[in-house]
């Protein structure tokens, strides 16, 4: 399921030429609309990698779980720490699971 952009929250990265989600998307699927809000221009090509969701500085992008993994309304939400990602997975029954991953340690 492609990313959904909360148009209230999205600030189009202050009308920069390329918002962060556009820069980071491996399939180059995100773009800025005429209203200066980001949108996914080819929804069927999205791989659900969640790069855009993770990078959005205002938390405006949400990725729904693909149906193969969880039925509609199941959600997977990342919260980015300085060197970790904390995932919250909510399935269709409302069960919540949380995991924390440490990111790769970068070489100094």
Residues near other proteins (CB under 8 A) are 9, 13-14, 16, 19-20, 23-24, 55-59, 62, 75, 77, 79-84, 86, 88, 90, 96, 98, 100, 108
Count of alpha carbons within 13 angstroms of residue 86, beta-carbon side: 6
Q: Which of 9, 47, 79, 101 is catalytic?
A: 47
Is the Cβ of residue 46 or residue 76 nearer to other proteins in the bound state?
A: 76
Which segments of 27-103 are extended strands (E)?
30-32, 38-40, 61-63, 75-80, 84-90, 96-102
55 DSSP assignment: H
86: β partners: 79, 100
User: Does 87 participate in catalysis according to the annotation?
Assistant: no
Is the Cβ of residue 66 or residue 91 nearer to other proteins in the bound state?
A: 91
Smallest distance, other proteins to C-beta of residue 37, A: 16
Residues with active-site annotation? 47
């Amino acid at each position: 399921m492609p990313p959904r952009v909360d148009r209230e929250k999205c600030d189009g990265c202050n009308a920069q030429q390329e918002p962060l989600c556009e820069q980071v998307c491996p399939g180059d699927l995100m773009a800025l609309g005429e209203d200066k809000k980001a949108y996914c221009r080819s929804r069927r090509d999205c791989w659900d990698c969640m790069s855009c969701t993770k990078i959005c500085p205002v938390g405006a992008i949400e990725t729904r779980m693909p149906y193969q993994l969880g039925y509609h309304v199941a959600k997977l939400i990342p919260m980015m720490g300085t060197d970790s990602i904390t995932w919250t997975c909510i399935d269709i029954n409302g069960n919540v699971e949380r995991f924390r991953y440490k990111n790769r340690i970068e070489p100094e």
